């Protein structure tokens, strides 16, 4: 039993020694949509040390988008309306690159939305709330997609908490990274 503990301690020490050796190799990279420089650290325990930020889009989940509250306010056109109160995590993601997966729902013959649910259970059919759908604006025009096609998109996230005639969530400059 004692030998196993010693071997485990030596293994952990070797991994951290290798991490220290390789972590001295840092490179500065420029993020795609900003002038902010990010340090990308080489090593075995990337992500273990939170002071370093790894470049790349955040992955959003429908669960996170569903963590929303609504506040009743007066609207000039519609009267009393429930406006979304966006959570702090999503506010930090505003205008940043994200990755999101869901089902394609056609809105009309020119535009699509990304839905948490298939068309039969989508927001329009009364089975879900408005937080379960995102408007999509594709980079370079709309591709030809099928209803209920499951895709993963990468694009710029935008939320709307003031215009009652618009989606709460949007993915703009979107490209399909999986599912086509």
Q: For the chain, where are the alpha helices, taking DSSP H only?
A: 2-23, 62-66, 88-93
Q: If 0-12 CB within 10 Å is exposed, 13-18 middle and 19+ buried, where does residue 115 land?
A: buried
Rounded-to-10 torsion of CA 50, 53, 57, 63: 20
Domains of the chain (ranges; CATH) run 2-41 (no CATH), 58-178 (2.40.50.870)
CA atoms within 13 A on the CB side of 137: 9
* Residue 135: both structure tokens together: 């408007």
* The token pair that represents 140 in the structure block: 């370079």
Q: Are strands 150-159 and 97-106 parallel, antiparallel or unpaired?
A: antiparallel
Q: pLDDT value at position 9? A: 60
How far is 127 from 104, CA to CA, in rounded Å?
16
At 57 the pLDDT is 82
- For residue 176, count other CB atoms closer than 10 A to its CB: 18
Q: What is the pLDDT of residue 129?
A: 87
Q: How many residues does the chain have?
A: 180
Query: pLDDT value at position 35?
Result: 42
pLDDT tens figures, 15-62? 555 565 544 333 334 444 444 434 444 444 444 333 334 457 888 999
pLDDT tens digits, the chain, 180 residues: what are they? Answer: 677 666 656 655 655 555 655 443 333 344 444 444 344 444 444 443 333 344 578 889 999 999 999 999 999 999 999 999 999 999 999 999 999 999 999 998 889 999 999 888 777 676 788 899 999 999 998 999 999 999 999 999 999 999 999 999 999 999 999 987
Contact 83, 73 (CB under 8 A): yes
DSSP symbol at 60: P
State the DSSP code for 44: S
pLDDT of residue 64: 95
């Amino acid at each position: 039993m004692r030998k196993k503990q010693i071997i485990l301690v030596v293994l952990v020490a070797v991994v951290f020694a290798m991490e220290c050796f390789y972590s001295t190799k840092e490179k500065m990279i420029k993020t795609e949509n900003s002038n902010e420089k990010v340090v990308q650290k080489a090593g075995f325990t990337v992500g273990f040390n939170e002071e370093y930020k790894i470049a790349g889009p955040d992955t959003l989940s429908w669960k996170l988008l569903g963590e929303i509250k609504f506040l009743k306010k007066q609207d000039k056109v519609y009267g009393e309306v429930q406006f979304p109160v966006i959570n702090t995590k999503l506010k930090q993601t505003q205008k940043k690159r994200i990755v999101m997966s869901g089902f394609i729902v056609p809105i009309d013959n020119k535009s699509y939305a990304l839905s948490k649910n298939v068309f039969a259970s989508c927001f329009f059919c009364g089975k879900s709330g408005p937080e379960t759908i995102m408007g999509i604006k594709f980079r370079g025009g709309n591709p030809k997609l099928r209803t209920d096609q499951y895709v993963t998109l990468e694009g710029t996230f935008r939320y709307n908490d003031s215009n009652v005639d618009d989606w709460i969530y949007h993915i703009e400059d979107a490209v399909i990274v999986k599912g086509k």
